[in-house]
Amino acid sequence: MRIEEALVKARSELKIHESGANVARNLMLFHLKVSQNELFLNLKNELQDESGYFALIERFKDGKPLEYITGLASFYSLEFDVLSGVLVPRPETEILVEKVLELSKEFDNPKIAEIGTGSGIISVCLALNLDTSIVATDISEIALKNAKQNALKFNVADKIKFVKTEFLNTVDEKFDIIISNPPYIANDYKLDKWVLNEPKTALFGGEKGDEILKDIVRIASQKGVRYLACEMGYDQKKAMGECLKFYGFSAEFYTDLAGFDRGFVAKNLNKTKGKV
Ligand code: SAM
Ligand code: GLN
């Protein structure tokens, strides 16, 4: 079978998924270990190890996320390593990174904490763009392994300290900014089988979904940070607005590219400017 025929067949098998065509092409790139351009120039060639390629397609059909099969995910125009058992980076999280890069301009060397670092994408992108020191926590051993691997891959391991703890429980330092993309999905929300193959502890935030976010607001207030920036669920703006106000924050909410409420940057009104 020619490569182009295999792609047509794979695309039709993957109609079950909205990104099926993209997955078929990406798995072909992964299978042949070629670039997009090379693939395009070789479409008429015979496909080597056809059964190997269709075995990859089967793994995806069984619910394995594309990024777990390839071990890679692109985020902020970079290729991060992603281990099975760690949340796959989402494009909307790039907005959260940009928000924090913007407000970091107020500081010379902002001290930043990230709660729930996962594959480390947020902390690595901040470290690549800022003169900063970051403490990044997670409760998951495999996530911390993945994050350290990415910090090494992008040469920023000396700027990020990884700590295995809940929230910032065993971290004594003070910070200018706390950033987090915590689990925020309600426990009974129905997710597709690909997402359900990602770790539940990275996705579900409690009965309502916003419980961990609210804990983070309280902790940020106790820590006396100047800013808190978080991603959140599309239906959590009202609840988070009330919670942030209660703890003395003034919040600006932002939407994702689909127009859904997706997060906030909150300024601590009880904290005057100055070094932490
Ligand atoms: N920051 C990564 C990203 O944006 O792709 C991962 C975000 S994922 C939605 C949430 C992460 O928080 C998971 O890695 C999970 O293990 C971690 N986590 C869940 N509860 C936590 C807690 N109480 N303290 C610290 N990390 C937690
Ligand atoms: N936005 C992700 C999803 O829809 C969830 C990430 C999270 O809970 N922080 O699958």
Query: Model confidence over 104-125: pLDDT tens digits?
Result: 999 999 999 999 999 999 999 9
**Closest C-alpha to ligand 2, atom 1:** 90
Q: Which residue has the tokens 């239906």?
A: 235
Tokens for 270, please give them. 């009880």
Q: Which ligand is nearest to the CA of 202?
A: 1
The model's pLDDT over 28-51, given as tens digits with 9 standing for 90+, comes to 999 999 999 999 999 999 999 999
Give, for ligand 1, the residue of 68, 80, 171, 181 to mutate: max count of ligand atoms closer than 8 Å to Cβ.
181
Rounded-to-integer distance, Cα 84 and Cα 221, Å: 34
Q: What angle do CA 121, 204, 146 make, to 5 degrees?
A: 30
DSSP assignment string, 191-241? --HHHHTS-HHHHEEESSS-HHHHHHHHHHHHHT-SEEEEE--TT-HHHHH
Q: Which ligand is nearest to the CA of 199?
A: 1
Closest Cα partner for 276 from 175, 129, 204, 200? 175
For residues 238-256, give the mean pLDDT. 98
Is residue 187 over pLDDT 60?
yes
What's the pLDDT score for residue 270?
A: 86
The model's pLDDT over 164-184, given as tens digits with 9 standing for 90+, comes to 999 999 999 999 999 999 999
CA of 204 relative to ligand 2 center, distance in Å: 8
What's the pLDDT score for residue 70?
A: 98
Whether the CB of 203 sits within 6 Å of ligand 2: yes
**Closest C-alpha to ligand 1, atom 5:** 89
Q: Whole-number mean pLDDT of the chain? A: 96
Rounded-to-integer distance, Cα 227 and Cα 204, Å: 24
What's the pLDDT score for residue 271?
A: 76
CA of 198 relative to ligand 2 center, distance in Å: 10
Whether the CB of 184 sits within 6 Å of ligand 2: yes
Considering the entire predicted model, what is its pTM?
0.95
What's the pLDDT score for residue 272?
A: 63
Is residue 276 over pLDDT 70?
no
Whether the CB of 181 sits within 6 Å of ligand 2: yes
CA of 122 relative to ligand 2 center, distance in Å: 14
Using DSSP bridges, classify how beta strands 227-231 and 72-75 pair: parallel, antiparallel or unpaired.
Answer: unpaired
